[in-house]
Chain A
Amino acid sequence: NAGVMQNPRHLVRRRGQEARLRCSPMKGHSHVYWYRQLPEEGLKFMVYLQKENIIDESGMPKERFSAEFPKEGPSILRIQQVVRGDSAAYFCASSPDRALQETQYFGPGTRLLVL
């Protein structure tokens, strides 16, 4: 299966701990996007990355959240000092070399629960 892969699928953290979410894009895709979905809401854009570059982080909270997409390995969304409000489903999407109107394909998501 060459789809977008995310791990872990479920993550439980206590308040104040760190959460690391991983995303491997589809084969041949070099663009990665992270979205967050709160209960009963649509998905909200967080950040758009290419290899070693953050292109658009306008949807990312300014504090505690960071993202990277290194030359080798998966993209990482890192949440430091988690709070209960961070509990949500986090989805990663990927697309091939960016052209206008390129479809984004989503992974299965990581469901983060903060106790």
Chain B
Amino acid sequence: DQQVKQNSPSLSVQEGRISILNCDYTNSMFDYFLWYKKYPAEGPTFLISISSIKDKNEDGRFTVFLNKSAKHLSLHIVPSQPGDSAVYFCAAETGAGSYQLTFGKGTKLSVIP
């Protein structure tokens, strides 16, 4: 049973436009959410996170939105740059004594110059 779902395996966006990556979850115990970016043959790089007590967190070009009632979060990148082309993973944590992250399968973002 996949508790964190990224239903779009890939996304293509023009440079300068907004990229929106989506993530849905089923476990209502998740209270902390993270986005990681991954290039081929490298480890995931932390991008931005959000606690369940918030509905928005912003860091430069990256903004994460959380809709708890819909169990949905999204990552907005604006403006998109060619260097943003990578696989983006959504991850979630319950924090209730176990700190394991549960990951989605990832969305491959291609930013076209």
Contact = CB atoms under 8 A, between A and B. Distances in A.
Contacts of B41: 108-109, 111
B101 A43 contact: yes
Interface stretch (B62-70, B76-84, B91-99): B91-99
A46 to B, nearest CB: 9
A37 to B, nearest CB: 8
Contacts, number: 70
B55 to A, nearest CB: 16
Interface residues of B, number: 26
Interface string B35-74: 0100001111110010100000000000000000000000
A1 interface: no
A42 B3 CA distance: 12
B98 A48 contact: yes
A100 interface: yes
Q: Name which of A41, A44, A59, A104 has the most chain B CB atoms within 10 A of its CB.
A: A104
Given A58-B100, A59-B100, A107-B43, A41 B105 contact: yes
Contacts of A52: none
A104 B101 contact: yes
Given A40-B105, A45-B100, A98-B99, A109 B31 contact: no
A33 B103 contact: no
Contacts of B51: 101
Contacts of B49: 101, 103
Interface string A35-63: 10000111111001000000110110000
Interface of A: 4, 6, 31, 33, 35, 40-45, 48, 55-56, 58-59, 91, 93, 95, 98, 100-109, 111
Given A56-B99, A98-B99, 15 more contacts: A4-B43, A6-B43, A31-B99, A33-B99, A33-B100, A42-B103, A44-B103, A56-B98, A93-B101, A101-B49, A101-B51, A101-B95, A103-B49, A107-B43, A108-B42
16 contacts: A6-B43, A31-B99, A42-B106, A43-B91, A43-B101, A45-B101, A48-B98, A56-B98, A58-B100, A91-B43, A93-B101, A95-B99, A101-B49, A105-B46, A106-B44, A111-B41
